[in-house]
Copies of this chain bind each other. A is one copy, B any other.
Amino acid sequence: METLEREPIFPQDLRDAWPALSRDERVESFKLVPHATADDFFLSLSAHAQAELILAMPPGERRTWMRLLAPDDAVDVVQSAPPEHREALLGELDDATRTEVQVLQAYEEDEAGGLMNPRFVRVRPEMTSDEAIGYLRKQTREQVETVYYAYVLDAQQHLLGVVSLRQLIQAAPDERVDEVMRRDVVTVSENTNQEVVIRLFAEHGLMAIPVVDAERRMKGIVTVDDIVQVVQEEATEDIQKVGGMEALDAPYFKVGLGAMLKKRAGWLLVLFLGEMLTATAMGYFEAEISRAVVLALFVPLIISSGGNSGSQATTLIIRSLALSEVRLRDWWRVMRREVLAGLALGAILGTVGIVRILLWQRLFHTYGEHAFLVALTVGLSLVGVVTWGTLSGSMLPFVLRRLGFDPASASAPFVATLVDVSGLVIYFTVAAVLLRGTLL
Interface residues of A (CB under 8 A from B): 15, 19-20, 37, 40, 43-44, 133, 136-137, 140-141, 147-148, 165-166, 169-170, 184, 198, 201-207, 224-229, 231-232, 234-236, 238-240, 242-245, 248, 251-253, 257, 260-261, 264-265, 267-269, 271-273, 275-276, 278-279, 282-283, 286, 289-290, 293-294, 296-301, 303-305, 307-309, 311-312, 314-320, 323, 325-327, 330, 333-334, 337, 340-341, 344-345, 348-349, 352-353, 356, 366, 386, 412-413, 416-417, 420, 424
Contacts and interface: CB of A to CB of B under 8 A. Distances in A.
A283 B413 CA distance: 26
Nearest to A386: B268
25 contacts: A19-B325, A44-B203, A198-B232, A202-B228, A231-B232, A236-B323, A239-B239, A244-B312, A244-B315, A248-B316, A252-B317, A253-B333, A264-B312, A267-B312, A268-B348, A268-B386, A269-B348, A275-B308, A276-B356, A278-B300, A283-B297, A289-B289, A300-B300, A304-B420, A412-B413
Counting from the closest, the 8 A-B pairs by CB-CB distance are: A243-B315, A235-B235, A278-B300, A251-B325, A252-B320, A282-B297, A296-B296, A205-B225
Contacts of A184: 37
- Per assembly, the copies of the chain total 2
A136 B244 CA distance: 52
Nearest to A252: B320
A271 B308 contact: yes
B416 A244 contact: no
A409 to B, nearest CB: 14
Given A267-B312, A268-B345, 17 more contacts: A19-B330, A140-B170, A228-B231, A243-B312, A244-B311, A252-B325, A260-B341, A264-B345, A265-B348, A272-B301, A272-B308, A272-B349, A275-B304, A282-B299, A300-B303, A307-B307, A416-B416
A206 B235 contact: no
B232 A316 contact: no
B307 A416 contact: yes
A189 to B, nearest CB: 15
In the complex, which of the residues A40, A275, A323, A416 has the most CB atoms of chain B within 10 Å of its own CB atom? A275
Nearest to A167: B140
Task: Decide if the interface of chain A is mainly helix, strand, loop or mixed.
Answer: helix
A327 B253 CA distance: 11
Given A244-B311, A315-B243, A268 B235 contact: no
Contacts of A169: 133, 136-137, 140, 147
Interface centre among A248, A265, A304, A320 (most CB of B within 10 A): A304
Nearest to A147: B166
Among A166, A225, A300, the one with the most B-chain Cβ atoms within 10 Å of its Cβ is A300
A236 B206 CA distance: 21
Contacts of A137: 169-170
Nearest to A204: B44
A227 B296 CA distance: 51
Contacts of A267: 312
A413 B40 CA distance: 42
B420 A240 contact: no
B242 A315 contact: yes
B412 A311 contact: yes
A283 B371 CA distance: 14
A312 B275 CA distance: 16
A202 B232 CA distance: 9
A40 to B, nearest CB: 8
Contacts of A344: 261, 265
Contacts of A148: 148, 165-166
Contacts of A312: 243-245, 264, 267-268, 413
A176 to B, nearest CB: 19
A248 to B, nearest CB: 7
A252 B341 CA distance: 13
